[in-house]
Amino acid sequence: MSEVPENVKGVVDFDSWLKPWANVLSERRYLADKYKYDIQHSTSDGKEISLKEFARDSYKTYGLHVDSQTKEIVYQEWCPNAAKAYLIGDFNNWNESTHELTRFDDFGNFKIVVKPIVENGSTSYAIKHDSKIKVMFVLNNGEKIYRLPAWITRSTQPDKETVKKYGPIYEGRFWNPENPYIFKSKRPTFNLTKDSLRIYEAHIGISSPEPTVASYKNFTQNVLPRIRDLGYNCIQLMAIMEHAYYASFGYQVTNFFAISSRFGTPEDLKELIDTAHSMGIIVLLDVVHSHASKNVEDGLNMFDGSDHHMFHSLTSGRGEHPLWDSRLFNYGKFEVQRFLLANLAFYIDVYQFDGFRFDGVTSMLYVHHGVGENGAFSGDYNEYLSKERSHVDHEALAYLMLANDLVHELLPNQAITIAEDVSGYPTLCLPRDIGGVGFDYRLAMALPDMWIKLLKEKKDEDWDMGHIAFTLTNRRHGEKVVAYCESHDQALVGDKTLAFWLMDAEMYTGMTILKETTPVIDRGIALHKMIRLITDSLGGEAYLNFEGNEFGHPEWLDFPNVNNNDSYHYARRQFNLVDDNLLRYQHLYNFDKAMQHTEGSYQWLNTPQAYISLKHEGDKVIVYERNGLLFLFNFNPKKSFNDYRIGVEVPGKYKIILNTDKPEFGGHNRIDEKSSFFTTNEKWNDRNNYLQVYIPSRTAMILALDK
């Protein structure tokens, strides 16, 4: 075979199985590098700029901006299909002729400078803070269309009277507060090579026991202290980008630079993030660049009257997602790259987010979007890299490379990027400079599917220890993953959380401590803890929990919609249950807290994969070592084992640092945590030493060297 191209030599050296496809990988990297070169040399004066300068200059140029000295307001928009453009709103009584934008180039850029009001020697902005605003375009055929500015930073729900008159179309707002929020705390440091990532995935609107839409303020005051108490060091915020349809879970974005007004103001979100930073918690945004809402008057669809402004045209067959009923970006377009890259820089700079979880990466990576027969991935490299079979969207892949370049340029050695990818695309989480796509982590999306399948289809005594261990460790070498047992997907109506699968038969009657526990509840609490611990410690290099699941939230998640009579009953998290000392939810909460804090002290995440020394199908026991710790799991529903021989590599005296059977975790107190275990210098299970331990049924424990 020919010599490996220099621009992907690093990834081929890392994974020699990639060598037959080196030229394909090289072409894909070349496209991203070409896009980057074109961006860096896009200035009119020929001066080279960095990616971060390009992104920052873009969000500071397009949209509405103020000059605090002169009180002038500048508005710029890209709208190539329009003949004329006018800024309208409360400030000019919606007059469609007074504030015309000037088209100043051949690319379709329009601009206006709104002069200040001067009265009695005092100068003020001509547009008042929080007043309503729109842009009107006149097309070449004379048609008038009304839109929210594409870069609008505030968009709100209309009042009932407006809805009656015009429909439920969101309203653009000119956001220019007199006293903007000033950040007080520095970003917490995070070392990507060493530090553990313990993610608490949360949705602001459901973060209250009350059947209503909760606020940023509520989250700051009532939920952040819980997250800190539990020991998570990262929050992943969902549904932040403005979306007109609440029940879309935030995945039908209408206004990309506006944060959801349902939950409060931009200043409220800044306060939330600043408060999290003061607690040492980093904050990630669940960013949706995979698609956009089809809304026209309050979204990007048909923005300039054409169907291809930001998206692939509808006639191309690539303009709509086949399942999501949404529009798909044309990532090869320069102005789309500008818009999306600027969007990332905006959230890092203005709101101080520390990184992103990229939604729908599988959909972006492939022309078939992971749907149908083509979306069934087996791991064969041909499915990703063969020119004939891969169906990879090279333009989208190149954009993802640029996005990773930008985020890590803005926050060097600290930013975090996570890909929601189920396909297993090779090199996705390898560095850009050696030929990878550049993500820091991908979600281990096969893990929750395995747990749900086991609970649905297998009796406890039929669980396959080998299959569990294989699935938890089946990931690409050197490409880090975020392990999780369940995320928001498993909490949605139509599915069940792990707690529900385990205990739904008695969850409303058996969680009180005022009566003896039942076999159903006892089993459920025991397995809930074990599943979380083995997933956390064996399944990846980071860990994620969806809010409420840490204490076994008793109900699914369903947003108000026509099918439930617009009820908020299931669009909430009942934190009150864990605060009730008469209920067993506290036990699961206590264990999750102990697990997170133990990881924080001993750190097994972000370390090399575990060495599994035992997968005993008859005993239902799994044993492994990771980062000098010894993990023991007895999934046997009936049998406890005395003096169970466990292989271990490092000799010495071991102590228990965590066990699932403590009374405060809902256990039966069968394990003496004061016990010490001394190794014997004999080989066992391919380890140089062994020790003997009592392992009760349905329990797990972690041992560490007692130094």
Confidence of residue 512 (pLDDT cuts 50, 70, 90): very high
Question: What pLDDT, on the 0 to 100 scale, is given for residue 388?
Answer: 74
State whether 330 and 258 are in the same domain: yes
State whether 164 and 211 are in the same domain: no
627 dihedral zone (left: phi>0; alpha: psi -120 to 50; beta): left
600, 204, 418, 470 alpha-carbon torsion, rounded to 10°: 60
Confidence of residue 378 (pLDDT cuts 50, 70, 90): confident
Q: Is a pLDDT exceeding 70 seen at residue 494?
A: no
Q: Is residue 182 part of a domain?
A: no
Question: What pLDDT, on the 0 to 100 scale, is given for residue 491?
Answer: 74
The sign of the torsion formed by the CA atoms of 476, 482, 485, 491 equals negative
Question: What pLDDT, on the 0 to 100 scale, is given for residue 172?
Answer: 98
Residues with active-site annotation: 359, 420
Averaged pLDDT, 390-415: 96
Residue 154 and residue 133 in contact, taking contact as beta carbons nearer than 8 Å: no
Residue 533 and residue 550 in contact, taking contact as beta carbons nearer than 8 Å: no
Question: What pLDDT, on the 0 to 100 scale, is given for residue 71?
Answer: 96
pTM for the full model? 0.97
Of 542, 540, 536, 454, residue with least CA distance to 498: 454
State whether 41 and 69 are in the same domain: no
Q: Is residue 188 part of a domain?
A: no
Q: Is a pLDDT exceeding 80 seen at residue 40?
A: yes
Helix, strand, coil fractions of the chain, as percent rounded to 5: 30, 20, 45
Query: What is the domain count for the chain?
Result: 4
Q: Is residue 299 part of a domain?
A: yes
Q: Is a pLDDT exceeding 80 seen at residue 373?
A: no
CATH number at residue 135: 2.60.40.10
CATH number at residue 687: 2.60.40.1180
State whether 318 and 414 are in the same domain: yes
Q: Is residue 183 part of a domain?
A: no
Q: For 123-159, give the DSSP string.
A: EE-SS-TT-EEEEEEEETTS-EEEE--TT-S-EEPPP
Question: What pLDDT, on the 0 to 100 scale, is given for residue 704?
Answer: 98
% of residues, the chain, pLDDT over 70? 99
Higher pLDDT, 301 or 493: 301
State whether 455 and 556 are in the same domain: yes
- CA 697 to chain CA centroid, Å, is 36
Q: In sequence order, what are the beta bridge partners of 255?
A: 242
Q: Is residue 190 part of a domain?
A: no
Averaged pLDDT, 183-211: 96
Rounded-to-integer distance, Cα 418 and Cα 431, Å: 13
State whether 38 and 58 are in the same domain: no
State whether 27 and 72 are in the same domain: no
Q: Is residue 179 part of a domain?
A: no
Write out pLDDT tens, residues 9-26: 999 999 999 999 999 999
Question: What pLDDT, on the 0 to 100 scale, is given for residue 493?
Answer: 66
Q: Is a pLDDT exceeding 80 seen at residue 325?
A: yes
State whether 661 and 585 are in the same domain: no
- CA 420 to chain CA centroid, Å, is 7
Report the mean per-residue pLDDT for the chain. Answer: 95
Q: Is a pLDDT exceeding 90 seen at residue 375?
A: no
Q: Is a pLDDT exceeding 90 seen at residue 46?
A: no
Question: What pLDDT, on the 0 to 100 scale, is given for residue 372?
Answer: 82
State whether 98 and 44 are in the same domain: no
What residue numbers bound the domain in which 26 lies?
Answer: 6-48
% of residues, the chain, pLDDT over 90? 91
Question: What pLDDT, on the 0 to 100 scale, is given for residue 294?
Answer: 97
CATH number at residue 577: 3.20.20.80
State whether 634 and 579 are in the same domain: no
Confidence of residue 231 (pLDDT cuts 50, 70, 90): very high
Q: Is residue 560 part of a domain?
A: yes
Write out pLDDT tens, residues 118-139: 998 899 999 999 999 999 999 9
Using only the alpha carbons of the chain, give its radius of gyration: 27
Higher pLDDT, 494 or 650: 650
Write out pLDDT tens, residues 25-34: 999 999 999 9
State whether 597 and 535 are in the same domain: yes
Of 575, 602, 629, the position where a domain reaches its end is 602
Confidence of residue 568 (pLDDT cuts 50, 70, 90): very high
Q: Is residue 549 part of a domain?
A: yes
The continuous run of DSSP H or E covering 677 comes out as strand 676-678
Write out pLDDT tens, residues 525-536: 999 999 999 999
Of 538, 572, 602, the position where a domain reaches its end is 602
Question: What pLDDT, on the 0 to 100 scale, is given for residue 14?
Answer: 96
Rounded-to-integer distance, Cα 431 and Cα 447, Å: 25
Averaged pLDDT, 441-465: 95
Write out pLDDT tens, residues 582-595: 999 999 999 999 99
Averaged pLDDT, 618-625: 98
State whether 476 and 388 are in the same domain: yes
DSSP three-state, residue 16: helix
